[in-house]
Structure 1
Amino acid sequence: MPEYAKIFTYEVDGLSYTVSLYEQDGQILADISVLEGSMDVNAVYYGDDDFTGKSDSLGGPLNMNGASLDGVKVQWDEAIKLSDPGIGPEGDDKDTYLHAGDTLTVELDADSLDAIDIFGIRATSTSTDEGSIKAVSDDPAEPEYPDEPTYDKVFFGSEFSDTGAPVGGVYILAEEPDPNTWNNVFLPEGTEPTFENYLDYFTSDAIGGDVSTLQGVAFYETDDEGNLNEVFRFDAPEDGFQSSEEVLGAYHDALDAYEEAQGTSDPGADLMAAITLDPDLDGHSYDDGHDQEEDDLELA
């Protein structure tokens, strides 16, 4: 799900929906999601909270004439036609006809999210008594998202032993140790140690990592005594990862499972928490912050 910046709401008898705005790849997008009822979204209107100047408008049945906010006529900065009124022969299969649970994504011609304070929808074939709406929404909510988890170290594993111990791959630390005796790989200074940033660095030209070679990824945190312990990991699918997006999806699934396990049972017994190295392997333990010597791992 995108990380929404603004969420407009609208609710009348028989119909409620949200319009959630976000930025992606340099584009301003709106997800129109029906919560109750149904409607055929024919046009969208939007603008800032300055109602001076000429208002943009679509002609005929797609106009927003008479639309007001707190008794003040709305001045729209942009209007976009999405479809003609009437569901026609397509019926419920019309692209712009939304039932409860449906979402329509619209690209907006806006320079920034800050330029959108008011959002309007012109819809027909609605589940309201009137059968159509000229809806105006303002005062959007700005959702708060929990901070992404951070990790002191992440292991991108291309090989594990039969007992699950890391054998080949790339360890990346959140910060450069002082002294950096073992030439550990670490995130660029100032980089927040979220998994997405670790993954971006792993696949960057600096590391040259290839997600298709991964057998699994392990995550480490420092305990109260200053020791690095593995807290959870996830494995690659049988046919491997094909993209970074697949790796991120597997990570979020594993994180959800780990957090659920922590809340319902002994976290020390779940998801290989606080795993130690295979005792048959030479090299350093997880405790010392750099694991095995570089020669023992196939570092990229």
Structure 2
Amino acid sequence: MPDHAKAFTYSVEGLSYTVTLYEQNGQIFADISVSDGAMDVNAIYFGDDDFSGSSASLGGPLNMNGARLDGETIQWDEAVKLSDPGLGPEGADKETYLEAGDTLTLTLDVDSLDEIDVFGIRATSTTTDAGSIKAVSDDPEEPEEPEEDPVYEKVFFGEEFSDAGDPLGGIYILGEEPDPNPYGNLALPEGTEPTFENYLSYFTSEEVGGDVSALQSVVFYQTAEDGSLVEEFRLDAPEGGFETADDLLAAYDAAIEDGMSSLASDATDGSDLMAALSLEPGTDSPAEDDPMPEEEDIDLL
């Protein structure tokens, strides 16, 4: 994932695009993505919001003469030629010709995204009335970071429970193998992110051989403030059980989404989300203590 990003948008009749700038592994990249229409991106211009000093420029048809921002002449810090105007024999296959759904990725010679507050594109063969643009975008948006999948310290794939709901038979899988591991507890392979999708994939692998259709409920655990593992929530199988691993994963995704939606209007933390997800009407809150201490974990295949 990018360390930081900002996005510039531009839209006129016949053409819309977004330029997403991001930093990855110490390098600055620009993704130029067309959402409507088409254009041949011949040059890019960019700079900060200080318009003093001399301006970078490209001669001939690649200049940005006359381009203004809020009526003010722009001082560009960098101007980079990408291609000559005209599609030539390549036609729509020209590398810099972008149609709706296309993205062109460029590497920018700057040290930080903070150096770029204004972004310009000089393009020809556009689907605008004029047939070309000297486009200027400022006030970059900060793209929303995608929500990260929840992670868990331990997951119990339960096939049998007591009348009180205590786990009796099934398979516990830890997010990280303890060292030492005298009881041979199952754990995700080293380096695996402890998301439910990864737990489920490991549970159904040949190494574990778990049977999704035999599950009554899946129990999710986190670490409490005192260091003990406590149940966060559980996901009960529907009548007739889960038919496939995909069915189980879909049910989990729906539960997480429903939990997020129900808490969207409240400034709550993840613990409230987990509490909202699982318990059927009439059931008690999850036990504060791990029903099966770590050192007694057993795998029932």
Greater shift after overlay, 69-78 or 255-264?
Answer: 255-264
CA distance in 2 between counterparts of 1:3 and 1:258 reads: 29
Give the whole-Å Cα distance in 2 for the aligned partners of 1:109 and 1:62: 19
Structure 1 partner of 2:256: 259
Given the superposition, is the C-alpha separation of residues 16 and 255 from structure 1 closer, same or farther in structure 2, using an over 3 Å criterion?
farther
What is the CA-CA distance between 1:146 and the residue it aligns to?
Answer: 6.2
- Give the secondary structure class of the aligned counterpart of 1:84: coil
CA displacement at 1:290 relative to structure 2:
7.4
Give yes or no for contact 1:48–1:77 (8 Å, CA) kept in 2: yes
Task: Tell me: CA distance 1:70–1:161, structure 2 relative to 1, closer, same or farther (3 Å).
Answer: closer
Letter of the aligned partner of 2:9 in structure 1?
T
CA positional deviation for 1:63: 1.7
Structure 1 residues 31 and 290 mapped into 2: Cα distance closer, same or farther (>3 Å)? farther
Partner of 1:249: none
User: What's the CA shift for 1:50?
Assistant: 0.7
Distance 2:48 2:94 in 1: 30
Q: Does 1:85 align with 2:85?
A: yes
| 1:47/1:115 contact within 8 Å kept | yes
Check conservation: 2:233, 2:278, Cα contact below 8 A.
no
Tell me by how many angstroms 1:135 deviates.
0.6
Alpha-carbon distance change, 129 to 295 in structure 1, aligned in 2, over 3 angstroms: closer
Provide structure 1 residue ranges, at least 5 long, that are not aligned to the other structure: 174-181, 184-198, 205-210, 233-237, 239-251, 271-275, 277-284
Is the Cα contact below 8 Å between 1:155 and 1:172 reproduced in 2? Answer: no
Aligned length: 234
Find the partner of 2:230 among 223, 227, 230. 227
* Aligned residue number for residue 101 of structure 1: 101
RMSD: 4.5
161, 180, 191: which one pairs with 1:203? 191
CA distance in 2, matches of 1:290, 1:51: 66
Match of 1:124 in 2: 124
Per-residue deviation at 1:129?
0.9
> Once the 2 structures are TM-superposed, how far is the Cα of residue 269 of structure 1 from its aligned partner?
9.1
User: Do residues 110 (structure 1) and 110 (structure 2) align?
Assistant: yes
| Kept in 2: contact 1:6–1:141 (CA 8 A) | yes
For the pair shown, the structure with the greater C-alpha radius of gyration is: 2
- Counterpart for residue 148 of structure 1: 148
Q: 1:258 to 1:65 in 2, by over 3 A?
A: same
Aligned residue type for 1:37 = G
Q: 1:276-297: CA deviations, max 9, x gaps? A: 9xxxxxxxx9942874317858
Matched, 1:215 2:220: no
| Residues 57-68 of structure 1: pairs in structure 2 closer than 5 A | 57-68=57-68
Distance 1:107 1:295 in 2: 51
What's the offset of the Cα at 1:231? 4.6
Alpha-carbon separation, structure 2, partners of 1:75 and 1:154: 53
Work out the CA distance in 2 between the residues paired with 1:99 and 1:78.
25
Once residues 293 and 4 of structure 1 are traced to their aligned partners in structure 2, the CA distance between those partners, rounded to angstroms, is: 42
Using the TM superposition, give the Cα deviation of residue 161 of structure 1 relative to its aligned residue in structure 2, in angstroms.
9.2
- Gap change, CA 1:85 and 1:29, over 3 Å in 2: same
Change (3 A) 1:17 1:255: farther
Distance (whole Å) between structure 2 residues aligned to residue 136 and residue 60 of structure 1: 19
> What's the CA shift string for 1:38-82, capped at 9, x where partnerless?
101111110000111221122222221222112221111112222
- Alignment partner of 2:89: what SS? helix
The 1-side partners of 2:37 and 2:47 are apart by 26
In structure 1, the partner of 2:290 is 288
Q: Against the structure 1 CA distance between its residues 231 and 47, is the aligned structure 2 distance closer, same or farther, given a 3 Å change threshold? A: farther
Residue in structure 1 matched with residue 15 of structure 2 by the alignment? 15
For the structure 1 residues 4 and 13, does the alpha-carbon distance in structure 2 shift closer, same or farther, using more than 3 Å as the test? farther
Corresponding position of 1:74: 74
Separation in 1, partners of 2:220, 2:230: 13
Counterpart for residue 166 of structure 1: 171
- Pair 263,116 (structure 1): closer, same or farther in 2 beyond 3 Å: closer
Contact between 1:229 and 1:286, CA under 8 Å: does it hold in 2?
A: no
Q: Distance in 1 between matches of 2:191 and 2:132?
A: 50
SS of 1:166's partner is strand
CA distance change for structure 1 residues 96 and 155 in 2, over 3 Å: closer, same or farther?
Answer: farther
